[in-house]
């Protein structure tokens, strides 16, 4: 989640506004029914980080894709381990996922 320090630490008004919207929002709501409920409850789909950021959900072949289970496994591994190694095929969205995480925690 975006911290108060990150919100207060920027002088860019557009970025500050975006960070305010992201504050206290989860990166993703993995439980699909709960995610749908939160989507419907919040204005304009401001349920989670991935729906709030201007880039939106990862897009492949002009279709926005929700995060996949293997991306949750990577996130969970990052929480419990300092370093992880991912042996992957190209086009899985791992780089985009890690850049999103970097945005939140830096």
Residues that bind Zn ion (CB under 5 A): 47-48, 51
Smallest gap from Cβ 90 to Zn ion, in A, equals 26
31 burial level (CB within 10 Å; 0-12, 13-18, 19+)? exposed
Supply the minimum distance, in Å, between the C-beta of residue 69 and Zn ion: 16
- Which residue's CB is nearer to Zn ion, number 32 or number 87? 32
Least separation in angstroms between residue 42's CB and Zn ion is 8
Judged by CB, which is closer to Zn ion: 75, or 80?
Answer: 75
Pick the closest to residue 53 from 29, 25, 78, 76 (CA basis): 25
CA distance 30 to 68: 9
């Amino acid at each position: 989640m975006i911290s108060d320090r990150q919100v207060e630490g920027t002088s860019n008004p557009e970025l500050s506004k975006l960070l305010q919207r992201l504050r206290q929002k989860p990166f993703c709501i993995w439980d699909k029914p709960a995610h749908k409920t939160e989507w419907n409850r919040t204005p304009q789909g401001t349920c989670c980080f991935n729906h709030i950021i201007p880039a939106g959900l990862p897009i492949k072949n002009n279709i926005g894709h929700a995060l996949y289970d293997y991306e949750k496994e990577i996130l969970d591994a990052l929480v419990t381990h300092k370093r992880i190694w991912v042996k992957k095929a190209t086009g899985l969205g791992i780089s985009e996922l890690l850049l999103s995480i970097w945005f939140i925690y830096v």
